[in-house]
A and B are shown apart, each in its own frame.
Chain A
Amino acid sequence: MSYFSSSIGRKQIVGICGLGLSLFVLTHMLGNLLVFLGPQAYNEYGHALTSNKLIYIAEAGLLAILIGHVIYTVLLTIRNKNARPKKYAVTPAGEKKTNFAAKTMIYQGVVILVFIIHHLLTFKFGEEYEVQYGEVIMRDLYRLMVEVFSQPIYVVWYVIAVIILWTHLGHGFSSSFKSLGFNHPKYVKKIDTAGCIYAAVVCLGFIAQPLYMFMNN
């Protein structure tokens, strides 16, 4: 049987891509912390990133990972939905009930995907303001951020989307390791804890940024 058409192979691809994306959101959050140092630091960071030719390779890789994560998830979800054509009338409420975050990964994923598209349209492909520091003219992303996050509705949507990302990462991080075969009494608790800490750090780091912008401007 082909690895790529097997349920386990597909799960593992979703997991590997998911871990790749997790690494990306962590670096994205860390880099963006520069907003707290003011417009110049933030804009120069953005400029350094986008003026490097390697950015195209990185972006293409990131897009491929995202597409892999989504496509294989969709294929697995179709399989999973078909596996139980008739639903139960009662959902378990006692000790045998399932963790809500784990059960709703696919729906969280849909919201996150919508958020990513909206986020790219707002920022990456959004208004191109310019600013000059010394000799160099660069994009004034900071100004765009101030503008966007002065609208309460955008801040609320951002915070909600990041909280959903939090639940997604909270289950996804440790679940990816399990799909790849890492689950052993010796270290499984450590992976679970690392996943919780990681998800909290990433998401709190993200949430702090629009809130800071909203309150300071």
Chain B
Amino acid sequence: MAGAGGKNLNLKLKVWKQKGPNDSGHFLNYDANGISTDMSFLEMLDVMNEDLISNGQEPIEFDHDCREGICGTCSLVINGEPHGPDKGTTTCQLHMRRFKDGDTIAIEPFRAKAFPVIRDLIVDRSAFDRIIEAGGYISTNTGNAVDANAMPIGKAEADEAFNSAACIGCGACVAACKNASASLFTSAKLSHLAAIPQGQAERISRANSMVAQMDSEAFGACTNTGACEAACPKEISIENIAVMNREFAISSLKSRK
């Protein structure tokens, strides 16, 4: 299975298996032999699953979609680190060359009460969707698309908004945080919309309703450990959380709700 110029690894995998949200789950050990260093982490799991299925065994269930680091569907906590050891990298972009022959790799799901396990390594991240539904949007009249330059936005503001908007909503921040807090995710969306003119109309109510939704989803609170920022595959800055704290404090003072 070795790719051009690559070499093969023999690995031991310790994979979390869980039948459903109410199952208590356990680790299962697998041997992953002849894994090419050119493979991505998910390709390694694909190869494992092909073998398992052809041997009549249950495959390892995991989430994935784009496999190019932009959709936020892949997850996994690899040796304790969400999306594995590389900074600014999603699991689908992690390569097996990062590992050494004979390594033992522990693979766990993102663990949080708000992210119940659906099966094995797949967790339900719809709590994030509900936070967005609570206010992570702008209301606008439909019709013809507005001319791109009709609303002037300064370069600095646009860049700032874009940095926050780079969040792909994967949930690694929650997985990494010792409190399973969704602060980085929620704050990225709040900061994104607070930085641009389109976000101003609903700015006050947005901070209040998104934070209320975040709190109602059993996420923990932020203690500024910085684990989220370190784990984020898009390197969203923890500075966003301070923006959210400001937005929320102001919204609490101004909001009539």
Contacts and interface: CB of A to CB of B under 8 A. Distances in A.
B203 to A, nearest CB: 15
A178 B114 CA distance: 25
A87 B111 contact: yes
Interface in B72-111: 77, 79-82, 85, 87, 106, 108, 111
Given A6-B212, A90-B79, A181-B245, A83 B114 contact: yes
A183 B241 contact: yes
Nearest to B18: A86
B113 to A, nearest CB: 5
Contacts of B231: 96
Q: What band does the interface of chain A fall in when counting residues whose beta carbon is under 8 Å from B?
A: 35 or more
Contacts of A82: 113, 218, 220
Contacts of B200: none
A86 B226 CA distance: 21
Interface residues of B, number: 49
B249 A12 contact: yes
A84 B112 contact: yes
Contact of A89 (B106, B239, B244): B106
Contacts, number: 156
Given A83-B220, A88-B80, A178 B245 contact: yes
B40 interface: no
Contact of A103 (B81, B222, B225): B225
A84 B108 contact: no
A61 B247 CA distance: 29
Contact of B242 (A80, A92, A178): A178
Contacts of B221: 7-8, 10-11, 76, 79-80
Interface string A64-93: 000000000000100111111111111111
A1 interface: yes
A80 to B, nearest CB: 4
Q: Which 4 A-B pairs have the closest CB atoms?
A: A181-B246, A183-B242, A83-B220, A90-B80
Interface of B: 14, 25, 27, 77, 79-82, 85, 87, 106, 108, 111-114, 176, 178-181, 208, 211-212, 214-215, 218-227, 230-231, 238-239, 241-246, 248-249, 252
Given A102-B226, A178-B241, 16 more contacts: A1-B211, A1-B215, A3-B252, A7-B219, A8-B248, A9-B252, A83-B112, A83-B181, A86-B111, A92-B176, A98-B225, A178-B245, A181-B243, A181-B245, A182-B242, A183-B238
29 contacts: A1-B208, A6-B211, A7-B215, A7-B219, A7-B221, A7-B222, A8-B249, A79-B220, A80-B180, A80-B181, A80-B220, A83-B112, A83-B113, A83-B218, A83-B220, A93-B79, A93-B80, A96-B80, A96-B85, A96-B231, A98-B178, A98-B225, A99-B226, A179-B224, A181-B242, A181-B243, A181-B245, A183-B238, A183-B241
